A and B are shown apart, each in its own frame.
Chain A
């Protein structure tokens, strides 16, 4: 059932990717209404797969590598869908759909059978901590995407190469606004993730902080985002803000993925 749902999810992400791209390239309004529906279907299907897994194993299924990957993919696609529903940024759908597709492919690679949850992870804090942190990451994906599109649009405007494709991209103001909003929300969620992690650690390990690479890098990332947000509200805008958002996101990815190779107490395997 779960694998069946995941396969359907994968197909829907592919369909969504294709329809978003076609929607961007063609002037047909029909495609632009189909694409979000595909993405919505993919998200729902994906959430269904996660729910089935959770019900099977009897806890919130985010501790295995593939589970974490799957949950993150679903959140990213969901956030992307939400944003492009509220703002005229269908390009975002064309970015999060393939991300959802690739991460879900990863789910197949890392797929593992259910096993008993380690005692330290058996806690009500698990869903809170993981959901807050992952939601934050997903929102940062949006911030980074908006920044990338901003740089493309800005470069073309500066070089005076206006094409009809670029006119279908969101305006610089929309992108900059989206960057700011998503940075603020992402930072809030990341902070919640860190705090809930600290409280949980206090319960589980007896201290809210331990010196290990995973946690240190998380705090470094948090500080970087705090600085970025500070300078943004002080008036850094446009290209500089976009570039730094991308840099911060790169650090985030490194701390999230790279640290998996360091031994440590944090997390079962991942997350």
Chain B
């Protein structure tokens, strides 16, 4: 039973994401900015959900909550989603996942670090998590625990980004091409790129190049009009197709995406261009099928030719490397979850320890006072002895529960499961010793 597993309070994530849930449903359940501001305060109360936040992106809708009662909170979140978004619960309930405690923390950290993203390592998700945090923070639905949990998730994401190269790997053919351009050229600002043809792949590659700040873009195509269209969208200049060879020596990156049955670039043309540009390196990206550039061009010095298969191979290699990096990233997440969990258990245990000590001291001093009032003739030494006796009595009595709590804190993370079996938690100890009842 889940209710036995919990410490005095728990963390949970209830939500659905792109892994399992069709986009139509995600759309219906997503909160847009205005809706979130109105809904979120309705989620949080003092009894079931002490703290709450909603992460809503096009790939996921998740509710993060800090609660003293897992089952009630789980139920409340489900109903909340159904009512706020006016979607019948049975429609989306099968897609919902619930992560509890360390798993919930781990999930949030993985999401923020982009390990759970559709494109692993994509950078936008961290911004979205930050937005979700800021929104909830502004609405006042966060307390100490979730504040800290979110802040940790940002620092975990930062660690993952700096200590692994998971975000640095190109995942599409066109971004792989641009990455390669960066191993050939120092910077792209003073470079010129030319696109031959107006194929979709070529267009994507040009966009990527533009995004990385390539200086000048030239577009050429057999049909002049379509070259003009593409040039307009990527802020480039148009070169008439028959003057291609006259402009070749100006270009550092040539992208072929023409639907041509013959090679558009031959050795002769490129040799001439190279001669004219003093053998400055040229990067030829052939995205055409059939190929636009003569493959023998790769044999020329200072010419680097990559066709679509080569680029796909690069992307494949990156995927392999990404797997290795993902292992490292998961290790970082696990380490940070442990740290956070230790803190979480600790902040639960410490007040209990303090309260237990205070209560014992209160009872002891009160009883000693009562007793001593009736024994006025006792010598100071005897009074001192009574004080010592009672103090040692309370200390001895308190020792086992305090030791239990401290050890529980100390082992907090690793042995959580064992303790769950024993069902004793700070919560239970508080109840046994009546720490939460105001006496008399």
Binding site for B on A (CB under 8 A): 26-29, 153, 157-158, 160, 162-164, 166-167, 169, 171-174, 176-177, 235-240
CA distance A176 to B186 in the complex (A): 10
Determine the distance from Cα of A163 to Cα of B316 in the docked complex, in whole angstroms. Answer: 11
Smallest Cβ-Cβ distance to B306: which chain A residue: A160
Enumerate 26 A-B pairs (CB-CB under 8 Å) in ascending A order: A26-B163, A27-B163, A29-B162, A153-B183, A157-B180, A158-B298, A162-B176, A162-B179, A162-B180, A162-B183, A162-B314, A163-B321, A169-B183, A171-B185, A173-B184, A173-B281, A174-B186, A176-B281, A177-B186, A235-B279, A236-B279, A237-B278, A237-B302, A238-B281, A238-B302, A239-B302
Please list the 10 inter-chain residue pairs (A to B) with the smallest Cβ-Cβ separation, ordered nearest first.
Answer: A235-B278, A173-B186, A238-B302, A237-B279, A160-B310, A174-B186, A27-B165, A173-B185, A172-B184, A171-B186
Q: Which of A29, A169, A176, A237 has the most CB of B within 10 A?
A: A237
B168 on interface, CB distance cutoff 8 Å? yes
List residues of chain A with CB within 8 A of the CB of B304.
157-158
Residues on A with beta carbons closer than 8 Å to the beta carbon of B358: none
Flag B341-377 by CB within 8 Å of A: 1 or 0 each.
0000000000000000000000000000000000000
Query: Is B301 close to A, CB under 8 A?
Result: yes
Bound-complex Cα distance A177 to B187 (A): 13
Q: Which of the listed residues B165, B169, B281, B304 has the most CB atoms from chain A within 10 Å of its own CB?
A: B281
A238 proximity list for chain B (CB < 8 A)? 279, 281, 301-302
Which of A157, A163, A239 is the one whose CB lies under 8 Å from B184? Answer: A157
How far is it, in angstroms, between the C-alpha of A239 and the C-alpha of B279 when the chains are bound? 11
A158 contacts across to B, CB distance below 8 A: 298, 304
Q: Which of chain A's residues have a CB closer than 8 A to the CB of B313?
A: 160
Contact of B182 with A by CB under 8 A: yes
Residues of B within 8 A of A237 (CB): 278-281, 302
B182 contact set on A, CB distance < 8 A: 167, 171
Q: What is the distance, in angstroms, from B178's C-beta to the closest C-beta of chain A?
A: 12
Closest beta carbon of chain A to B2's beta carbon, Å: 39
A27-B162, A28-B163 in contact; A167/B168 too (CB < 8 A)? yes
State in angstroms the CA–CA spacing of A62 and B183 once bound together.
41
Closest to B320 in A: A163
Whether A167 contacts B186 by the Cβ 8 Å rule is no
Q: Cα distance A157–B306 when bound, in Å?
A: 9
**CA of A166 to CA of B321, assembled, Å:** 13
Contact with A along B152-178 (1 / 0, CB 8 A): 000000000011110011000000100
A161 to chain B: closest residue by CB: B317
CB pair B183–A157 under 8 Å, yes or no, is yes
In the complex, A177 Cα to B280 Cα: how many Å?
A: 11
The residues of B with any CB-CB pair to A shorter than 8 Å are: 162-165, 168-169, 176, 179-180, 182-186, 278-281, 298, 301-302, 304, 306, 310, 313-314, 317, 321
- Determine whether the beta carbon of B278 is less than 8 Å from that of A239: no
- Total A-B pairs, Cβ < 8 A: 69
Given contacts A169-B183, A172-B281, 17 further A-B contacts (CB under 8 A): A27-B163, A28-B162, A153-B183, A160-B313, A162-B179, A167-B179, A171-B184, A172-B183, A172-B184, A173-B185, A173-B186, A173-B281, A177-B186, A235-B278, A237-B278, A237-B279, A239-B301
Using Cβ atoms and an 8 Å threshold, which residues of chain B touch A236? 279
Chain B proximity of A178: nearest CB distance (Å): 10
Set of chain B residues within 8 Å of A177, measured between Cβ atoms: 186
CB distance from B46 to the nearest CB of A (A): 44
Least CB distance, A83 to chain B, in whole angstroms: 15
CB <8 Å contact, B164 and A27: yes
Taking chain A's interface residues, is the majority helix, strand, or loop, or is none over half, making it mixed? helix
- CB contact under 8 A between A162 and B281, given known A28-B163, A167-B179, A177-B186: no
Q: How far is the CB of B249 from chain A (nearest CB, A)?
A: 12
Min CB gap B309→A, angstroms: 9
Which chain A positions have C-beta within 8 A of B278? Answer: 235, 237
Whole-angstrom CA separation of A174 from B355 in the bound complex: 65
A167 CB contacts on chain B under 8 angstroms: 168, 179, 182-183
Neighbouring B residues of A153 by C-beta, 8 Å: 183
**B279: which A residues are within 8 A, CB to CB?**
235-238
Question: Which of chain A's residues have a CB closer than 8 A to the CB of B302?
Answer: 237-239
What chain B residues lie within 8 Å of A239 (beta carbons)? 301-302
* Chain B residue at minimum C-beta to C-beta distance from A174: B186
Q: Which of B165, B180, B184, B310 contacts A164 (CB 8 A)?
A: B165
Cα A172 to Cα B183 in complex, Å, equals 6
Q: Which chain A residues lie closer than 8 Å to B321 at the CB level?
A: 163-164
Closest residue of chain B to A88, judged by CB? B186
Contacts of B163 in A (CB 8 A): 26-28
Q: How far is the CB of B56 from chain A (nearest CB, A)?
A: 32
| Cβ of B313 to closest chain A Cβ, rounded Å | 7
Q: Is the CB of A164 within 8 A of B301?
A: no
Quick check: A240 and B186 within 8 Å, CB to CB? Answer: no
Bound CA span A157–B302, Å: 10
Contact of B183 among A29, A171, A240 (CB under 8 A): A171
Residue of A nearest to B184 (CB): A172
Docked Cα-Cα span, A240 to B313, in Å, equals 28
CA distance A12 to B295 in the complex (A): 49
Tell me the complex Cα distance, A240–B278, Å. 13
Check A160/B162 contact, CB under 8 A, given A171-B183, A235-B279, A238-B302. no
Cβ-defined contact, B168 with A164, below 8 A: yes
A170 to B251, CA, bound (A): 22
Question: What is the CA–CA distance of A27 and B280 in the complex, to the nearest angstrom?
Answer: 31
CB distance from A189 to the nearest CB of B (A): 25
- A177 to B281 Cα, complex, angstroms: 12
A177 to B183, CA, bound (A): 14
Smallest beta-carbon distance A34→chain B, Å:
15
Q: In the assembled complex, how far is the CB of residue A271 from the closest CB belonging to chain B, in whole angstroms? A: 37
Docked Cα-Cα span, A164 to B313, in Å, equals 14
Question: Complex: how many Å from CA A26 to CA B304?
Answer: 28
Nearest chain A CB to B55's CB is how many angstroms away? 27
- Tell me the complex Cα distance, A26–B324, Å: 13
Closest Cβ of chain A to B97, distance in Å, is 31
Distance to closest chain B CB from A87 (angstroms)? 9
